[in-house]
Amino acid sequence: MPKKGGNKKGDKPRVAKATVDPLFPSRPRTFTIGGAIRPRGRDLSRFVKWPKYIRVQRQRAVLYQRLKIPPAVNQFTKVITKNEAMTVFTLLNKYRPETKDARKQRLEESAAATAEGKKSKDKSPNVVKYGLKEVTAAIEEKQAELVLIACDVDPIELVIWMPALCRKMDVPFMIVKDKARLGALVHTKTAACVAITSVGPEDSGQLNILQDLARDKFNNNADMIRKWGGGIMGLKTKAKLEKRAKAMAVEEAKKQASLGRA
């Protein structure tokens, strides 16, 4: 007879349970896409589930490439170069508007001089004008010597008409890259446009050079006035259009050959 507690005939042999170490749990590797080991030489970014805000940004960028953009809007994609911008802002930094404290101090000194019976020498300094209302008035009265317009104003309708007005009034203008940079020039967070109305005699030569540059690059540039933007198709669409054009060329050649025989 089998011993008490022993395995009976036909029973499976007992297997000792494996102990699991809680400090070092077993993590088996997976070799599928996005698993433990990334395959070498493969770009897996297209398989990534990107966050929604990134997908929206990319879709918007693609949509802006696909859509045809009229010249009035497309001209805001053409901005001055980095070196040109450095020259322009170096000049305009000399004519930054007064801060509130500086203006208050100047007016107090002027009032004190007037109270003492002295002739006040208070003169409003040559400064950069900013704000749509101020700049528009300066352009219409032909007082603006140079106008800078930001390319990233939102909505664009705020300044879309300003280049046409500058061309009509023969006021040189430039489109610059960042509204925040214009804002820093005039002590605000952002600025849609700024204008300089007068400079000192020592800077008149530099201003004339910038005016000539603005007229050549923006005011009198026919391509900027007439050229449409966008309309850039993807690789698949381009390949499909090329294939269709080749097929149409072959059909046209066949027609010409049949007409020649007849």
CATH of the domain at 200: 3.30.1330.30
Query: In the structure, what pLDDT confidence band is assigned to residue 10 with cuts at 50, 70 and 90?
Result: low
In-domain check, residue 248: no
Closest CA to 230 of 69, 84, 58: 69
Query: Which pLDDT score is estimated for 213?
Result: 94
CA distance 166 to 171: 5
| Residue 2 scores a pLDDT above 80 | no
Helix (H, G, I), strand (E, B) or coil at 68: strand
> Average pLDDT, stretch 154-166?
94
Does some domain include residue 20? no
Domain holding 79, by residue range, is 71-113+123-229
- What are the backbone dihedrals phi and psi of residue 145, each rounded to the nearest 5 degrees, phi first? -90, -30
| pLDDT at residue 91 is higher than 60 | yes
- Asked whether residue 234 is assigned to any structural domain, the reply reads no
Supply the pLDDT for residue 102. Answer: 77
H or E element at residue 164: helix 162-168
* Residue partners of 70: CB distance under 8 A and separation at least 6: 228
Supply 91's token pair: 């000049």
Domain total in the chain: 1
Q: Look at residue 173 and tell me if it is in a domain.
A: yes
Has residue 11 been placed in a domain? no
Mean of pLDDT over the chain: 86
Structural domain includes residue 162: yes
Lowest mean pLDDT among 90-94, 95-99, 215-219: 95-99
Q: Would 106 be classed as within a structural domain?
A: yes
Cα–Cα distance, 256 to 233 (Å, whole number) = 32
Asked whether residue 240 carries a pLDDT value surpassing 60, the answer given is yes
Task: Note the pTM of the prediction, 2 decimals.
Answer: 0.69
Strand order in the sheet with 128-130: 128-130, 193-196, 146-150, 173-176
260 in a structural domain: no
Six-digit token string for 2:
């089998």
Tokens describing residue 221: 């540039």
